[in-house]
């Protein structure tokens, strides 16, 4: 699932971080196609752990700076995603990289990309644009 301009929300710092997530997701899907996903999943989990902390902090700071009315909903979604990453890492460590964990990682990243970024984060950009008018 490549990054496309229609996924941009119009806030450079957020868009650039989203692009990085897409790049990592592509690498995960490619690793799965090449039967290398077991080796890559640990790297992806490390990235997601770091990414979420930095990205969500930046995104939340931006939302507060523009008095975004959907901040609480976004914050809740971010917290839930961080919890999913922690659970996935725990499952990975227990299983040693089972196929189920790899499939769950793929699904989690894909769901986040398709649902959160393209729906919820898009609203942040729309709100920011409406304030500039």
Cβ atoms of 40 and 24 within 8 Å: the answer is: no
Query: What digits encode the pLDDT tens for the residues 63-112?
Result: 999 999 999 999 999 999 899 888 888 888 888 767 677 777 777 777 88
Ordered DSSP codes for 11-70: -HHHHHHHHHHHHHHHHHHHHHHTT-HHHHHHHHHHHHHHHHHHHHHHHHHHHHHTT-TT
Please calculate the CA angle 112-118-123 and round it to the nearest 5 degrees.
Answer: 120
The rounded distance, in Å, linking the Cα atoms of 40 and 82 is 19
**Predicted TM-score (pTM) of this structure:** 0.81
**pLDDT: which is higher, 37 or 44:** 44
Cβ atoms of 112 and 17 within 8 Å: the answer is: no
- Please tell me the predicted confidence (pLDDT) of residue 133: 45
Tell the CATH superfamily of the 5-132 domain: Hemerythrin-like (1.20.120.50)
């Amino acid at each position: 699932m490549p990054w496309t301009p229609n996924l941009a929300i119009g806030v450079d710092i957020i868009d650039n971080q989203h692009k990085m997530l897409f790049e990592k997701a592509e690498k995960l899907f490619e690793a799965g196609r090449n039967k290398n996903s077991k080796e890559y999943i640990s790297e992806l989990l490390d990235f997601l752990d770091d990414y979420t902390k930095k990205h969500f902090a930046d995104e939340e700071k931006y939302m507060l700076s523009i008095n975004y009315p959907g901040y609480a909903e976004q914050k809740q979604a971010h917290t839930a995603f961080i919890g999913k990453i922690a659970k996935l890492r725990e499952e990975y460590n227990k299983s040693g990289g089972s196929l189920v964990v790899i499939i769950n990682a793929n699904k989690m990243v894909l769901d986040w990309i398709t649902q959160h970024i393209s729906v919820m984060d898009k609203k942040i950009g729309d709100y920011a644009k409406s304030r500039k008018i």
